[in-house]
A = this chain, B = another copy of it.
Amino acid sequence: MSEEPAPDGAERNDVVIASDGRTVGRRGTATRRRMLDATATLLVSQPLRDLRVVDIAREVGASPATFYQYFRDVEEAVLVLAAECGEAMAPLADLLRGDWAELEAARSFVDAFIAVWDQHTAVLRVRNLAAQEGEPRFRDLRRSANRPFVDGLAEHVRASQRNGRVDSALSPIATAAALMSLLERMAAFHVELESMGVGRDDVVTTCAHIVHQTIDGVG
């Protein structure tokens, strides 16, 4: 029966409520946005562990107290950013339709996937690190963002197994999970390969080959 206050910065019936119960208007929404952007910016150059509320506040020229109007803590701000990345990923699920007999289909998907990572490297990396450390909320965000891809890849494997193109000893789920791991990691750190003479295109091509060959089997 009790009327719980809405969680910080959460929306309820399109009305955003700040931590002290005031409704957030246009100006407040903009400030909140700047806090989020500042958070994303700072994560490019420092790990989440070293990111202080004071840093974010200073970055937008505000007081630490202002931060708490919109977020319970730094983690909550990062969770919002990670959720936004999830939305940016969603459209890629379409690229997994079709029979993928052509290498080009795999290439399109890999390229698009890495493109989203290139746009949001810092936040996605932090999301994955936190997920791997066992933070349940980051884990969930990652899982739900990747689920369509894992499911899609696993389905391709099953189809190829029915055709006899892929060895039935493979676990479709393990295969899909393995390929996603490969894609995420290469997306996250392909820039570092540049120093070894491996460019983004090489990475995309290589990943596409591996994915295609694995889920579509041998000719």
Contact = CB atoms under 8 A, between A and B. Distances in A.
B170 A193 contact: no
A26 to B, nearest CB: 37
Contacts of A188: 132
Given A186-B177, A186-B178, A206 B171 contact: yes
A59 interface: no
Interface string A113-147: 00000000000010001001110000000000000
A132 B122 CA distance: 11
A175 B205 CA distance: 10
A80 to B, nearest CB: 21
A185 interface: yes
Nearest to A210: B214
Interface string A196-219: 111000110111011001100011
Report the copy number of this chain in the oligomer.
Answer: 2
A25 interface: no
Contact of A132 (B49, B125, B179): B125
Given A49-B49, A213-B213, A214-B213, A198 B219 contact: no
Nearest to A203: B174
B132 A206 contact: no
B47 A134 contact: yes
A181 interface: yes
A55 to B, nearest CB: 16
A193 B219 contact: no
Given A47-B133, A178-B182, 7 more contacts: A174-B186, A174-B190, A174-B198, A178-B206, A179-B182, A179-B210, A182-B185
20 contacts: A47-B134, A49-B49, A49-B133, A125-B132, A129-B133, A170-B205, A171-B202, A174-B186, A174-B193, A174-B202, A174-B203, A174-B207, A175-B206, A177-B186, A178-B207, A181-B182, A181-B185, A209-B214, A210-B210, A218-B219
Interface of A: 47, 49, 125, 129, 132-134, 167, 169-171, 173-175, 177-179, 181-182, 185-186, 188-190, 193, 196-198, 202-203, 205-207, 209-210, 213-214, 218-219
